[in-house]
Amino acid sequence: METALVTGANRGIGYALVKALVDSDFRVLAGCRDLENSVGLKKLESSGSIQILELDVSSDESVEAAARKSPDRIDIIVNNAGLMPERGNESIAEIDFNHLRSAFEVNVLGAARVIRSFLPRLRRSNRPRILNVSSGLGSIAERDSSTYYAYAVSKAALNMLTRSTAFEFAPEGITVVAISPGWVRTDMGGEEADISPEESAAALVEAIRKIGPNLSGKFLDRFGQTGKYVW
């Protein structure tokens, strides 16, 4: 049985992914910042399906403590925790720079913290994979508007982190990909989005099953396929 760590696991895509992984016979480490708002996860934990980890990706100490409480070996890291702090229509002349700071703290540095702290455990896997949950808004080539400055710029930076770590870890056989979950009906995606969290999660599980070193350093859609998204 493989073990997957999912950050931002108490709501939205993260929660749906935890449930889908459990249903697919994975052992799941469910990382979440706010344990008080993790009622659904606690029900799953009581059944023995998951282990909840208090994990705030914006804190070095929290991520390191979560790693110490984890099993000696994990096979998959899903850096799902994310933040879209702005309204989306701000100009560069008016945007609060704290939006940019907070987006980078969670969306970029958060992923880097998790990778660094859990890397020793990932290295013990026979088939280690890292999935950094990105977005089409992080594509520089496809950028055609000035909306969502903080979120889009931070996801572009996450894509570069993905590409860079893919090259660093290639000699060890660690697969690192950026993956878009699609436009999902969550608090972040809004009610007009294309798909439900459950539909996104089902596709992501299949991607987790099949990705390997041949896809490392790629920007994938939720099905684990190339071609839809470009850097």
Task: Copy the structure tokens of residue 15.
Answer: 């929660």
Task: Copy the structure tokens of residue 60.
Answer: 């070095």
- Of 15, 148, 149, 151, the active-site residue reads 151
Alpha carbon distance 42, 217 (integer Å): 35
- Residue at token pair 């991607």: 207
Alpha carbon distance 51, 70 (integer Å): 9
Contact 177, 161 (CB under 8 A): no
User: Which has the closest alpha carbon to 18: 60, 61, 56, 47?
Assistant: 47
Residue 203: CA count within 13 A, CB half-sphere: 18
Q: DSSP readout, 144-180?
A: -----HHHHHHHHHHHHHHHHHHHHHGGGT-EEEEE-
Enumerate the β-bridge partners of residue 29.
5, 51
The verdict on whether 15 is a catalytic residue reads: no
Using DSSP's 3-state secondary structure scheme, residue 121 falls into helix
Task: Copy the structure tokens of residue 154.
Answer: 């931070």
Task: Copy the structure tokens of residue 194.
Answer: 């294309």
Annotated catalytic residues are: 151
